[in-house]
Amino acid sequence: MSNGRPAGDYYPNYLAEIGISAEQAQDLVNHAFDTIFFDPEENFCHRTEEDAWCMVDTGNVDARTEGMSYGMMMCVQMDRKDIFDKLWTFSDRYMRLKEGPNAGYFAWSVQLDGKHNAEGPAPDGEEYFAMALFMAAARWGDGEGLYNYTAQAREILRHAVHQHEMIPGGQPMWEPENGYVRFVPGMKISDPSYHLPHFYDLFAQKADEEDRNFWKWAAEQSRKYLIRSADPETGLSPEYADYNGKAVLLFGKPWVYYSDAYRVAENIALDHVWFGPHPEEDDVTTRLQDFFAKQNLQDLRAYELDGTPQTEPAMHPTAILAVLGAASISSKSVHRTRFLKLFVQTPLRKGVRRYYDNCLYFFCLLMLTGNYRIYL
């Protein structure tokens, strides 16, 4: 297992390929961060209490562990401990489950005042919480109690792997038999966009010592799964899939390449930035760019994995364009430069659905400008 980029190593500004200087790149990052957290009209960070803020899913008007942990990762990358601690305080105060089979996990959706919409977790939140906390410890040092970031991250991962051993009736977030992250703890299916091998390689250095080999194995397994679940021609990945990588339809949605699935390209790109090329994994982003180069990018849709467009419009078109830009990091497509230019020409989304699009946009912007870094 690689340890990622050594201290002081250079994280490239990939936008330099299209003439964006380091100064211009940093201006783009600062503007996007300020918009997300502070813009009077377009921010989606809610001040529930003076010491407890939450990220708002503007399309559903709730706070989700996905968004809370995303916001924390944004803050640790931008060196904003003040906001990070407010988000983490909200997460602990209002989302951490105290009893029942999910004790130790976090409720995946709560109202903006903290009242629960759900009593179960979503693993994509837990894995981002843990990674953001480990990086917070590296950037700012551990404090006491809730702000002992390292201890908190290890506890989250301990539950994720050993819930069935720790809590009566509990279910783990990672499948013991194959190392795959589950869609939810009680379902033996996965979500390709939850697979973050670049996080697991770092967990293998920072988690409880007895679990480090598990995380190393999980990283290897996830890289294989990302390849297996992507279509061999189009590079499109399903939102939800069984352990063989075949699409599973949930929630009455008949379409396959849809919102969750967009994150796969973003995740592969960040794995490339942090841990270098993985040729078969990187080939997924090449096929994806080649596929979308043939599509009408002004009329993005839901798609079958073979590329057949469906009548359903894409709910998050800005997110698709953002991850196609990030895909240029690992892609060998002849269309790489086109998608870099398109990324820079794409503004942050405004309006009701801006939350998910702009979260993905910001993470893609961080990695494209050399600002999404390992702190460990």
Quick check: is 210 catalytic? no
The pLDDT of residue 10: 79
The answer to whether residue 48 is domain-embedded is no
Q: Note whether residue 3 is domain-resident.
A: yes
- Token representation of residue 311: 């009548």
> What distances in angstroms separate CA 65 from CA 89, 109, 188, one per listed residue?
13, 7, 21
For residue 303, give the amino acid letter: Y
Q: Distance (Å, rounded) from C-alpha 207 to C-alpha 195?
A: 17
From the first residue on, what is the mean pLDDT of each consecutive set of 10 residues in the chain (376 residues)? 50 97 98 98 98 98 98 98 99 98 98 98 98 98 98 98 98 98 98 98 98 98 98 98 97 94 98 97 98 98 97 97 98 98 98 98 98 97
Maximal CA-CA distance, the chain: 57
The dihedrals phi and psi of 6, each to the nearest 5 degrees, come to -65, 160
Judge whether 108 and 66 are in contact, CB under 8 Å. yes
Q: Phi first, then psi: what are they for 10, rounded to 5°?
A: -85, 130
pLDDT score for 4 = 55
Domain-located, residue 319: yes
Look up 260 and say whether it is catalytic: yes
Q: What is the CATH number for 278?
A: 1.50.10.10
Query: Under 8 Å CB-to-CB from 41, ≥6 apart: which residues?
Result: 350
Q: Of residues 57, 62, 66, 126, which has the active-site annotation?
A: 66
Question: What letter represents residue 277's amino acid?
Answer: P
What is the pLDDT, as a whole number, of residue 304? 97
What percentage of the chain's residues is helix, strand, coil (to nearest 5)?
A: 50, 10, 40
Contact 123, 218 (CB under 8 A): no
d(CA 352, CA 102): 31
Which regions of the chain does DSSP assign to beta strands (E)? 45-49, 52-55, 63-64, 109-110, 301-303, 309-313
241: helix, strand or coil: strand
| Active-site entry in 260, 282, 283, 357 | 260
Q: Quote the pLDDT of residue 8.
A: 42
- How far is residue 112's CA from residue 87's CA, in Å, rounded to a whole number? 12
Q: What angle do CA 241, 193, 166 make, to 5 degrees?
A: 80
Sign of CA dihedral 119, 177, 226, 10: positive
Does 166 map to a domain? no
At 1 the pLDDT is 35
The number of domains in the chain is 1
Structural domain includes residue 70: no
The Cα 139–Cα 137 span in angstroms is 6
Q: Which tokens go with 15?
A: 């936008």
Q: What is the pLDDT of residue 9?
A: 59
Domain span at residue 355 reads 1-43+233-376
